Structure 1
Amino acid sequence: MGNLNIVRPCILGLVTILLLGSSCASPKDVVYFQNSNNFETLVDENTFSPKFKVDDLVGIHISTLNPEASVPFNLFRGAQENGMRPEQVDYLVDKDGEIDFPVIGKIKIAGLSPEEVRVLLREELSDYLKDPIINIRLKNFTTTVLGAVNRPGTYYVQGERITILEAIGLAGDLSIKGRRDNVMVIRDFDGTKVYTKVDLTDKEVLSSPVYYLTQNDVVYVEPNKSGITASSLDNRAGLYVSIASILITSTLILIRN
């Protein structure tokens, strides 16, 4: 009986260690868009259009009904071999926000949308080409998602825009340890960084200025109290394992005696 009286506190101590850091969560901590109504219709009035930035890599291809006429306005790397067309050269937006375009020369495109650049080029090319077809594409559109998500990392975006929800989806959604009400978007435009926080539990996130992400945006999901506690426990995991091992060993010895 004496041994059992000693064993019980040991077992209780072990259970306490195993349960340490556990917490309860309510739906308000994890559910998105909590204030949306059934069959509610929201009209997207966000007129977001991506703008080119310094260090962007931009692909521009000019074509016309007369292929030979448009040749001087397209740069290619290497020569055509075995019927394979050489790779077209992209344009890097320099520190002044400009690209060096064939024949025309320097053109400032930083701060302009693809459609605005298309209009600008069409005007510049009017003396050389008739009804040119201008294809423009941002080649280095990436977004980085960090913090309490299931697959943090940097993701390549194929289209011209992506929403914060789509970016989080690429990262495997927030983990259960991520705060839905305090997600930060870090945006850089020509050296100026802007930090904006959004609440994913509120439908108003759909009208946020950072709902549509721009190239090189960073989305950071802050850990909740459970995540912070878990991190603290991980740092002391070795200590807990040692204590648990001692308790188990002591319990077995007492039982055998």
Structure 2
Amino acid sequence: MKYRLVAFIVSLLFFASCSAPRNLAYFDNLREETVVTEKIANEAEAKIQPGDLLSINVTSLSPESNILFNKGALPTASNANVNGVTYVQETEGYLVDKSGFVVLPILGKVKLENFTREEAETQLTASLQKYLKEPVVNVRFRNFKVTVIGEVNRPSTFQVADGNVNILEALGMAGDMTAFGKRENVLVIRETKDERSMVRLNLNDKNILKSPFFNLQQNDIVYVEPDKAKEVQASANPRNISIIVGAMSVLTIILSRLL
């Protein structure tokens, strides 16, 4: 009878201490001795979307025109009037409206939606050649941001100056996942104009590099889900924990006396 009781107590201690093994490695199915070279199929560069705030810098051999463009003024109901369009001078940046247009001096409304920065620069340069001598256009995002929340060390919203960031870089900015973060089940939420997409990514799998969601777009949200151990820890009642600890202490004392 004594040995049955001992075996029962040992079993309780064993199962109380056991938990399912966790895979904390990224790209775990990439073999160490293998060099993998693949063509990059998913597009990395972000495209201009309604609501983006752009910095458009124009340089040419016409200094007066350069100043006009590089104010980067936003349209408003009152202020200086240039070619029929009013601007407020103290606010920098060109806002992309709901239809995908920006309003520029001389050119007026220009459609830039779904253009990459390089495509927008080429388009604007070609249009300005009619009015400026040897124009050079530089386009940058002013409000490109991604948000990383959940089981990471520094959840926050991060500004990305060049508009180019992938999910690993975003996790790096957030201090990487905690040990409780489910690497096999990371949620990315993406909104584009009138559509919201949600996808779960497995960062244990190297094939994630081919996903169209590997490279993040402006305003993407990355949510790292906690594992079961964190859920139990968060929902545990301190009173219940005290009772369990007390019971385990009693069982330990009984076991030591029996032995």
TM-score class normalised by the smaller sequence: 0.7 to 0.9
RMSD between aligned residues: 3.0
Task: Please report how far the alpha carbon of residue 171 of structure 1 lies from its aligned counterpart in structure 2 after TM superposition.
Answer: 1.1
Q: Aligned match of 2:30 in 28, 32, 36?
A: 36
Q: Is the 8 A contact 1:35 1:202 kept in 2?
A: yes
Superposition pairs of residues 9-158 of structure 1, within 5 angstroms: 23-26=19-22, 29-37=23-31, 38-45=33-40, 46-75=42-71, 89-158=92-161
Q: Is the 8 A contact 1:21 1:230 kept in 2?
A: no
Superposition pairs of residues 161-240 of structure 1, within 5 angstroms: 161-233=164-236, 236-240=237-241
Over 3 Å counting, the alpha-carbon distance change for 1:155 and 1:76 in structure 2 is: closer
Q: Is the 8 A contact 1:145 1:218 kept in 2?
A: yes
One-letter amino acid matched to 2:238: A
Task: Please report how far the alpha carbon of residue 72 of structure 1 lies from its aligned counterpart in structure 2 after TM superposition.
Answer: 3.0
Task: Please report how far the alpha carbon of residue 54 of structure 1 lies from its aligned counterpart in structure 2 after TM superposition.
Answer: 1.4
Q: Is the 8 A contact 2:59 2:66 kept in 1?
A: yes
CA distance in 1, matches of 2:166, 2:160: 11
The count of corresponding residues between Structure 1 and Structure 2 is: 225
Which runs of 5 or more structure 2 residues have no equivalent in the other structure?
1-8, 74-88, 251-259
Task: Please report how far the alpha carbon of residue 68 of structure 1 lies from its aligned counterpart in structure 2 after TM superposition.
Answer: 3.0
Task: Please report how far the alpha carbon of residue 149 of structure 1 lies from its aligned counterpart in structure 2 after TM superposition.
Answer: 1.3
One-letter amino acid matched to 2:19: S
CA distance in 1, matches of 2:106, 2:17: 66
Q: Is the 8 A contact 2:55 2:72 kept in 1?
A: no
Task: Please report how far the alpha carbon of residue 39 of structure 1 lies from its aligned counterpart in structure 2 after TM superposition.
Answer: 4.1
Secondary structure of the corresponding residue to residue 65 of structure 1? coil
Over 3 Å counting, the alpha-carbon distance change for 1:154 and 1:198 in structure 2 is: same
One-letter amino acid matched to 2:48: F
Match of 2:85 in 1: none
One-letter amino acid matched to 1:221: V
Over 3 Å counting, the alpha-carbon distance change for 1:21 and 1:92 in structure 2 is: farther
CA distance in 2, matches of 1:111, 1:132: 23
Task: Please report how far the alpha carbon of residue 150 of structure 1 lies from its aligned counterpart in structure 2 after TM superposition.
Answer: 1.6
Q: Is the 8 A contact 1:57 1:92 kept in 2?
A: yes
Secondary structure of the corresponding residue to residue 125 of structure 2? helix
Secondary structure of the corresponding residue to residue 144 of structure 1? strand
One-letter amino acid matched to 2:111: K
Q: What whole-Å deviation, never above 9, does each CA across 1:206-251 have from its counterpart, x for those lacking one?
A: 1110111111100011111212222221xx225534x47988xx9x
Over 3 Å counting, the alpha-carbon distance change for 1:134 and 1:144 in structure 2 is: same
Identity of matched residues, %: 36
CA distance in 2, matches of 1:131, 1:34: 52
Q: What whole-Å deviation, never above 9, does each CA across 1:73-104 have from its counterpart, x for those lacking one?
A: 33267xxxxxxxx9772011112221111111
Q: Is the 8 A contact 2:56 2:72 kept in 1?
A: no
One-letter amino acid matched to 2:51: D
Q: TM-score, normalised to structure 1's length?
A: 0.77
